Amino acid sequence: MFADLHLHTRFSDGTYSPEELAGHAQRHGLSVLALTDHDSVEGCGAMTTACARLGLEFIAGVELTAEHDGAELHLLGYFLDTQHPRLLRELSRFQGVRQDRIREMVARLNHLRVPLEAEAVFALANCRSPGRPHVARALVQAGLCRTLDEAFDRFLKKHRPAWVPKFKMSATQAIALIHEAGGLAVMAHPGLNHNDRLIPHMAEAGLDGLECYHSRHSLAASEHYLGLARKHVLLVTGGSDCHGMNRGRPLIGSVHLPYKYVVILKERVAQRKSRSAACTPNASRPDTPTHPLLPSATKPPPPSCAVA
Ligand code: AMP
Ligand code: ZN
Ligand code: FE
Ligand code: FE
């Protein structure tokens, strides 16, 4: 059994619907999928249904763009409670920032006398978490650029005239948010971000895993990150980062993560859940102090609570 734990749909900047994605995954011999749309869990409901229909196992996830010490990194959250109120509130805030970014990119295009309307981008994106690929597609659809590459090369690439930097949240806060929503936090495609120096800091901040296998990691890169995962006691994950037909060929099927890694992830989530239940004041330990500042001299909490 194999998994792909890094996938995007049209609920962020992918082109496949959940149903199409699940179909392609099944044809590639995958039996476990995680949806990791950018700043959104909007597609998780439809993906749950699509996977159930095909007998595939589904893991609800997200991909957050974060920074630490001036360096960008992407954090994947897995096994999330997709109804978690604070997670939904924060995602909604990031989605608002994304929509403002689209308006700003369109304003810059208009300033360059490219007559694109923000509403055309939102209509095409038809999701809460739009990004640059939607602006590129809208430019092509309006006949203002011939190809997506032309749209990026002329306007949208970093430091091109319509480029607007992307909001990044603090990586330590992103890890805490994922944990609060019941999830595991994993550093995505470390081989693309070239900031291995962050890994020890992230491990200290509670990072659970490292995406050692990725469609754009060479064999040597995967081995390098397997070594770092061992060194920093991080779990191992992998995924294709398929965005559908956005750029080149679809990447689904390029990573087949053996199921044994999924089993370990599930064990870690179960451990977390049982620890946090044990650490909930007055839940199973009526003699635990109910206020964090109250002296705990009567009975210290079990050591496992310190790392829950
Ligand atoms: P954003 O997160 O809004 O900054 O957009 C990043 C997305 O743009 C990623 O999914 C990239 O794959 C995509 N992208 C970057 N360059 C290009 C390009 N030349 N053609 C198509 N997509 C691109
Ligand atoms: Zn993307
Ligand atoms: Fe990413
Ligand atoms: Fe991704």
Nearest-atom index, ligand 1, CA of 98: 3
CA distance 189 to 251: 14
CB atoms near residue 199 (< 10 Å): 20
**Cβ partners under 8 Å of residue 107, min gap 6:** none
- CATH 3.20.20.140 range(s) for the chain read 2-84+169-272
Q: Using CA positions, which residue lies closest to atom 20 of ligand 1?
A: 149
Nearest CA to ligand 1 atom 18: 149
Work out which ligand 1 atom sits closest to the CA atom of 149.
19
Instruction: Determine the distance separating the centroid of ligand 4 and the alpha carbon of 159, expressed in angstroms.
Output: 22
Average pLDDT score over residue span 94-100 = 97
pLDDT at residue number 249:
84
Q: What is the pLDDT of residue 277?
A: 84
Q: Does residue 166's CB lie within 6 angstroms of at least one atom of ligand 1?
A: yes
pLDDT for 301 equals 38
Predicted model pTM: 0.90
pLDDT tens for each residue of 161-175 = 999 999 999 999 999
Give 249 or 81, the one with higher predicted confidence.
81
CA atoms of 86 and 185, how far apart (whole Å): 16
Distance CA 218, CA 135 (A): 31
**Ligand 1 contacts CB of residue 246 (under 6 A):** yes
In the chain, ranges of CATH 1.10.150 domains: 92-156
Tell me, what's the pLDDT at 281?
67
Ligand at shortest distance from the CA of 239 = 4
pLDDT band at 290, cuts 50/70/90?
very low
Report domain 92-156's class.
mainly alpha
Is the model more confident about 302 or about 1? 1
232 in ligand 1 pocket by Cβ < 6 Å?
no
pLDDT in tens, 105-151: 999 999 999 999 999 999 999 999 999 999 999 999 999 999 999 99
Read off the pLDDT band of 248 (50, 70, 90). confident
Whether ligand 1 lies within 6 angstroms of the CB of 201 is answered as no
3-state secondary structure of 10: coil
Is the sign of the CA dihedral 48, 51, 55, 61 positive or negative?
negative
Per-residue pLDDT at 151: 98
CATH annotation of 2-84+169-272: 3.20.20.140
**Distance from Cα 241 to the centre of ligand 4, integer Å:** 5
Please determine, for residue 63, whether its predicted confidence score (pLDDT) is greater than 90. Answer: yes
Q: Quick one: pLDDT at residue 276?
A: 83
Which residues, including other chains, have CB under 8 Å from residue 180's CB and lie 6 or more apart?
Answer: 84, 86, 87
* pLDDT single digits (tens) 17-29: 999 999 999 999 9
According to the model, what pLDDT value does residue 246 have? 74
CA distance 162 to 250: 27
Instruction: State the Cα–Cα distance between residues 206 and 72, nearest whole angstrom.
Output: 18
Which ligand approaches the C-alpha of residue 74 most closely? 3
Residues of the chain with pLDDT > 70: what percent?
91
| Residue 152 CB less than 6 A away from ligand 1 | yes
